[in-house]
Amino acid sequence: MNASNSLDPGLLDELADVAATSGCKLLDCEFRGSVLRLVIDREEGVTIDDCQAVSRQASALLDVADFGDRKYLLEVSSPGLDRKFYSQDDYENYLGRKVRVTWRDPAATNKTTSVGILETFDPTRKQIALKEATTGEQLTIPLKVIELARLEPDI
């Protein structure tokens, strides 16, 4: 799980437990400005009922934990159709799917964004192979240079 803006690790564990009691996995927890955003997932897909259940339980937990010294908004959502990759497991799980990868080539100063089919994931070498959609070029991209990877929905 990713966590932004240094939330207490114990509280993060408790929020992950809250999601688990609803049959979900907490993928991300971000506190930015006055918004605490929880992203949950489950194998069968996240429903509105899942979001509501996690929201109610998380809200009660945060009240007891006396979270935040000011008002905040709690958002609970699914990763969506264009889901961000949160861990190496995502590369494994979405092999063969169309993805959008933004990465920074160490030899260049700017970012590159490529859209294509995720062909391989090598956990030992910590790299992916992507077949570029427009050119058909095979790209090998080390995970350490990837800034953002997400599914590219076919709409």
Domain boundary assignment for the chain: 2-77, 88-151
With 90 as the cut, is the pLDDT of residue 110 above it? Answer: no
What's the rounded mean pLDDT across residues 130-146? 96
Chain CA centroid to CA 104, Å: 19
What's the rounded mean pLDDT across residues 60-89? 90
What's the rounded mean pLDDT across residues 113-125? 97
What's the rounded mean pLDDT across residues 45-70? 91
For position 66, what pLDDT does the model report?
A: 79
Which sign, positive or negative, has the C-alpha torsion 97, 102, 106, 108? positive
Q: Which CATH architecture has domain 88-151?
A: Roll (2.30)
pLDDT band for position 6 (50/70/90)?
low
What does the alpha-carbon distance between residue 151 and residue 107 come to, in Å, rounded to a whole number?
26
> Mean pLDDT over all residues of the chain?
92
For position 69, what pLDDT does the model report?
A: 72
Q: Which CATH homologous superfamily contains domain 2-77? A: RimP-like superfamily, N-terminal (3.30.300.70)
With 80 as the cut, is the pLDDT of residue 7 above it? Answer: no
In this structure, the strands spanning 35-41 and 73-77 are parallel
With 80 as the cut, is the pLDDT of residue 124 above it? Answer: yes
pTM of the predicted model, to two decimals? Answer: 0.82
Q: Tokens 């959008």 sit at which residue? A: 100
Count of beta carbons in the 10 Å neighbourhood of residue 142? 14
Strand intervals (E) in 19-124: 25-32, 35-41, 73-77, 98-104, 111-122
HSE (CB half, 13 Å, CA atoms) of 115?
A: 7
Structural tokens at position 94? 């979405």
Q: Which position has the higher pLDDT, 154 or 74?
A: 74
Q: What is the DSSP letter of 22?
A: T
pLDDT band for position 4 (50/70/90)?
low
